[in-house]
Structure 1
């Protein structure tokens, strides 16, 4: 047994030496992770499909057309909404800002057959700086109109309550003053005042100064109360206070109201004149506005042309 083992031992040792002599150079250069990393890279980053310029152009053009259609639809929707918003704003806007001047003065009830004659809106037509001035002028005109109503009533009481011969003429003239002075004062001095502050018109300022100055003089006469002049002033009241104390006191109260409103009107005239001078207006500007208004008036312009043609025809016929 020992001999057999001894015989086998050299062969096995020879085989072991051959195994030990196997070349390990390839194993030294071998990296087992290289193949796996390449596989992972192929999995995570798949290869792009082949590029086609025609296909890319088709896709790009279709996408742009789709986006353009969407933008056009959004723009049309936005324009429609803006138009609706502007329409609502214009509808909610005051008449004066919309360019619509619906006549609203005098304010008459709906059942009245007459309609308003003027458009008046101090809140929207007059700048905030002069609103109080114009409102004060309007209230001053209302006060004067109410005073003429009171004067008419007192003159009627004076006529029926006394035996003075001038009572009838006092009452008759008071009726005429009531009918004429209320509308004429509104047309002749308040409307020019309103237009002057609305458009900074020098010509309207001058009309106001002239007419309102005349009215202040008339109110001074009405305060005095000259007999047969249609006003219950101081002279009229003092003439009847002894005969009829009640009627005399009523007449003297009207005289006091005439005096107060006359003083306020004189102050208001001076106040408006100071405002007018502070704006840099002058008579030259008023004259320029008046001339421009005459030239721009089509009726006056046509009349001037016809007058010129008529004069030319007359000259031609006279020369022939």
Structure 2
């Protein structure tokens, strides 16, 4: 025992677990271990039961991790206020996109206008209205291109005014046909037929020059003077349309009074003249509507009577003929004063 109670020498290579008594006890499987034997159990007297090795338990089955799937439907994780802000931002972006597209169209129109300037003779444009054939000895008198010269906001209005002028010219042609039909059944209506020819020849070009061209130039260059010229002349034209609709006998207009009179002479001629009266009525109503429409647009453009006066003075004094006439008048007055003084 002194061997196990004393410390071994440093050079002594001795393993205490290799003792025969220890190895004999570990090789004996008839004795249980301490975790199975209870010496205080009085219900089973006698020696402890032999030791039985428990079979190793099977390892738990490996659990497959759950598969994460991406939801197919978008979920709104924000509040209602956040969603409203997103919608407002989207609407603002769409509005800005529309404004940019409108500006791009306006820039393209300006480019076409510059191209038309370059294609013109020198710095002016070639006249293209009225569209006469090449063999005609008289050429076009005006240049007109609504898509190029008129702002996109006013193109529809100017186009309607152009079609309205064409409708007025067509109504006067039909008025001439109606008066000719009445003259065929009543030869005493020769004055009306003559006046119908005069109105057609006079009103068709004069209406184009006196009220359509002013409204065209007013929207083209935002001219207050042309706006006022249009209002004054077109108002008189609307009053004349009302007189055409009434149809006073002997005035050369196939209105309601003359139409009812022709209906007593011959039904077919009366029907033709009453149709002409309907056209005159529509023409007068359309004239009132367009007058109000142009006046509302005129108020949006910022034109005024003061601007019209300034434009008129500028155009008058910039006219070479007016300046020459004023210079001649001044020279004549000075010469007369000098002669009188002598």
TM-score, L = length of structure 2: 0.64
Counterpart Cα distance in 1 of 2:238 and 2:311? 26
Counterpart Cα distance in 2 of 1:92 and 1:316? 54
Equivalent position of 1:172 in the other structure: 194
Equivalent position of 2:311 in the other structure: 289
Secondary structure of the 1:191 match is: helix
Secondary structure of the 1:108 match is: coil
Equivalent position of 1:272 in the other structure: 294
Equivalent position of 1:243 in the other structure: 265
- Cα shift at 1:92: 11
Secondary structure of the 1:275 match is: helix
- Cα shift at 1:318: 1.9
Greater helix share, 1 or 2?
A: 1
Secondary structure of the 2:225 match is: helix
Counterpart Cα distance in 2 of 1:91 and 1:127? 13
Counterpart Cα distance in 2 of 1:91 and 1:207? 29
1:137-160, Cα deviation, whole Å (9 max, x unpaired): 000000000111111111111111
Detail structure 1 runs of 4+ shifted over 6 Å in the superposition.
Answer: 90-93
Counterpart Cα distance in 1 of 2:113 and 2:310? 38
- Cα shift at 1:319: 2.1
Counterpart Cα distance in 2 of 1:107 and 1:215? 25
- Counterpart contact for 1:96–1:125, Cα < 8 Å: no
- Counterpart contact for 1:96–1:124, Cα < 8 Å: no
1:185-225, Cα deviation, whole Å (9 max, x unpaired): 00111111111111111111111111111111111101111
- Residue of structure 2 aligned with 1:116, choices 140, 146, 160: 140
- Cα shift at 1:91: 11
Q: Does 1:149 align with 2:173?
A: yes
Equivalent position of 1:196 in the other structure: 218
Q: Does 1:256 align with 2:278?
A: yes
Counterpart Cα distance in 2 of 1:138 and 1:261? 13
TM-score, L = length of structure 1: 0.68
Stretches of structure 1 that go unaligned for 5 or more consecutive residues are 1-89
Equivalent position of 1:228 in the other structure: 250
- Residue of structure 2 aligned with 1:163, choices 180, 186, 192: 186
Counterpart Cα distance in 1 of 2:168 and 2:112? 38
Q: 1:218 to 1:101 in 2, by over 3 A?
A: same
CA RMSD of aligned residues (A): 1.9
Equivalent position of 2:159 in the other structure: 135
Secondary structure of the 2:207 match is: helix
Counterpart Cα distance in 2 of 1:250 and 1:92? 46
Q: 1:250 to 1:94 in 2, by over 3 A?
A: farther
Q: Does 1:211 align with 2:233?
A: yes
Q: 1:300 to 1:234 in 2, by over 3 A?
A: same
Stretches of structure 2 that go unaligned for 5 or more consecutive residues are 1-110
- Cα shift at 1:100: 4.1
Aligned ranges 1:296-307 → 2 under 5 Å: 296-307=318-329
